[in-house]
Amino acid sequence: MPNILVTGSKGQLGSELQELSSEYDYNFYFTDRDSLDVTDKESIVAFIKNNVIDTVINAAAYTAVDKAEEDTVNADKVNHLATQYLAEISKEHNIKLIHVSTDYVFDGKNYKPYTEDDATNPNGVYGATKLAGEKVMQEINPKNAIIIRTSWVYSSFGANFVKTMLRLGKERDSLGVIFDQVGTPTYTRDLAKAILEILPKIKNDNVAIYNYSSEGVLSWYDFAKEIMRMAKLECQINPIETKEYPTPVTRPHYSLLNKAKIKKEFNIDIPYWKDSLDECLQIMDERK
C-alpha cells in the first residue's frame, strides 16, 4: 500500500484530498506548514524516511498573487526552492512526485487553448516562481514525476471566487465582475479525484506536464452570473473591463487550457464546469 505525503493539506486541494482519502486504499500523511516545512530540505528528508514515503503530492504553494510582488523571497522559497528539494529527494529515493502548477506561467495573450508545449511568459512574481519550480523539477528530472497545471480553482474549502461571490451576493444589490478575462474554473474536488485516479498509472522516465481544468469556456462575469443563479441570489451582475479593476499584477486575459493530453494518456473524464459548480454549491449547503 503506497505511503503518500500530501503537502499543503490545509489549502483547497489538500483539504479535498483529505476528504477523499478514505475512499482509496492508500496511507496518507497530510502536512501543513506547522507540521512540515517544505522550505527545509532536512525536515523533508527526515519525514520521508521516518514514514517510508514513496509518493508525494505537492499541493503547497504561495498563491497570494499580488502580495508576492513584494514578498518575493517567501514566494520563491515555497514555489521554487521547495519544489527543487522535493524533486532532489524524489530522485534520490525513487519517489513518485506529483506537483501542482498554474496557468499563470502563461501571459494570457494566446488565441487558442494553451497546450503543455506552448511558450511560457509569466506576468508577475507568482507566475515566475511557479515556472521556476517547474523548470528546476524538469532539470533534476526524477522518474515517475509529473506537473499538473490548473486554473481558476475553487472549493467548498478555503477562500476563493465562489465563496466571495456568495458572500457579496447576499450583502449587495449589484456587483461589477470582469468579462474580458476568459478561461475555465476548476473544482478542486475534481482535480483531487483526477490526481488519485491517475496516481497508480504514472510511469515515465522524464518529467511530464499536463493541463487540468473543468470543461467549457467562460469569463469571470459568466461564472458570477451562474453562481448567483444557482444560489438563487438576487444580486445583479454587471460586466466590467479589466482596466476598471486594476491590480498590481496583470491577470491573464486568456487562460484556457487544452486538456487532450491528460484525457488521452490516463483515460479520464473531466466534468463540465456547470455540473461541478452545482455539486460544490450542494456540498456547501449541506455543511451550513
Residues that are catalytic: 126
Which residues sit opposite 177 in a β-bridge?
239
Which domains, from first to last, does the chain contain? 3-158+186-214+255-271 (3.40.50.720)
What's the pLDDT score for residue 190? 98
Please give the grid coordinates belonging to residue 238: 454587471
What's the pLDDT score for residue 287? 84
Terminus-to-terminus CA distance in the chain, angstroms? Answer: 36
Tell me which amino acid residue 202 is: I
What's the pLDDT score for residue 246? 87
Which residues sit opposite 224 in a β-bridge?
none
3 state SS for the chain? CCEEEEECCCCHHHHHHHHHHHHCCCEEEECCCCCCCCCCHHHHHHHHHHCCCCEEEECCCCCCCCHHHCCHHHHHHHHHHHHHHHHHHHHHHCCEEEEEEEHHHCCCCCCCCECCCCCCCCCCHHHHHHHHHHHHHHHHCCCCEEEEEECCEECCCCCCHHHHHHHHHHHCCEEEEECCCEECCEEHHHHHHHHHHHHHHCCCCCCEEEECCCECCEEHHHHHHHHHHHHCCCCEEEEECHHHCCCCCCCCCECCECCHHHHHHHCCCCCEHHHHHHHHHHHHHHCC
pLDDT of the chain, 288 residues: tens digit per residue: 789 999 999 999 999 999 999 999 999 999 998 999 999 999 999 999 999 999 999 999 999 999 999 999 999 999 999 999 999 999 999 999 999 999 999 999 998 999 999 999 999 999 999 999 999 999 999 999 999 999 999 999 999 999 999 999 999 999 999 999 999 999 999 999 999 999 999 999 999 999 999 999 999 999 999 999 999 999 999 999 999 988 898 888 999 999 999 999 999 999 999 999 999 999 999 987
What's the pLDDT score for residue 245? 87
Do residues 231 and 51 lie in contact, with contact meaning Cβ atoms separated by under 8 Å? no
Do residues 54 and 143 lie in contact, with contact meaning Cβ atoms separated by under 8 Å? no
What's the pLDDT score for residue 266? 97
What's the pLDDT score for residue 178? 96
